[in-house]
Structure 1
Amino acid sequence: MAASLRLGESRIPNLCRRAKITQAELARRLGIPRQTLYKVNKRIRDLSLEQAINAAYILDCKVEDLHVIVHGTRTE
């Protein structure tokens, strides 16, 4: 069995509150619709790497802080 990682719950709403910006403002600054950010928060969609890096910069955090990271194992 090999170790695997996957994205869990979004921390973006809490990070926005901490940074004192709305999620709508974050979406605007990322150049994405607010509905897309909603889908990211619900784990329906993922940010691109570029969007995740920009979001982390805007929210003054690391990319890995945007979501809970779930550790597990998978069989090959």
Structure 2
Amino acid sequence: MALARGRCRLRYLLARKDMTQAELARRTGYQRQQVSNWVNDREPIPWDAGLNIAYVLECQMEELYEVIVV
């Protein structure tokens, strides 16, 4: 049994905090387009960005993605 990264949950975490992608970009220092790429699963969130995002959204890094058992 192994674990794999599933779909990005950033869209749901932003909604839970009633925060826009633009607001997350402003608060983390990343460009809005980059945040959009993460939200729409076009690129994985780098580890260091995940730390910043988790801090701003007051969640654990593990919550940023679904976990799939393979």
Partner of residue 16, structure 1:
14
Q: More strand by proportion, 1 or 2?
A: 1
CA RMSD of aligned residues (A): 1.5
Asked if the contact 1:9–1:41 (Cα under 8 Å) also holds between the matched residues in 2, the reply is: no
Q: What is the TM-score with the length of structure 2 in the denominator?
A: 0.81
Runs (4+) off by over 6 Å: none
- Choose from 53, 56, 63 the match for 1:55: 53
- The letter for the 2-side match of 1:11 is R
- Choose from 11, 27, 30 the match for 1:29: 27
Unpaired stretches in structure 1, ≥5 consecutive residues: none
User: 1:14-46, CA deviations, whole angstroms, 9 ceiling, x for partnerless residues?
Assistant: 111211221111122222111111211232212
Partner of residue 67, structure 1:
65
Q: What is the TM-score with the length of structure 1 in the denominator?
A: 0.76
Mapped partners of 1:14, 1:46: distance in 2 = 16
Unpaired stretches in structure 2, ≥5 consecutive residues: none
Q: More helix by proportion, 1 or 2?
A: 2
Shift of 1:4: 3.3
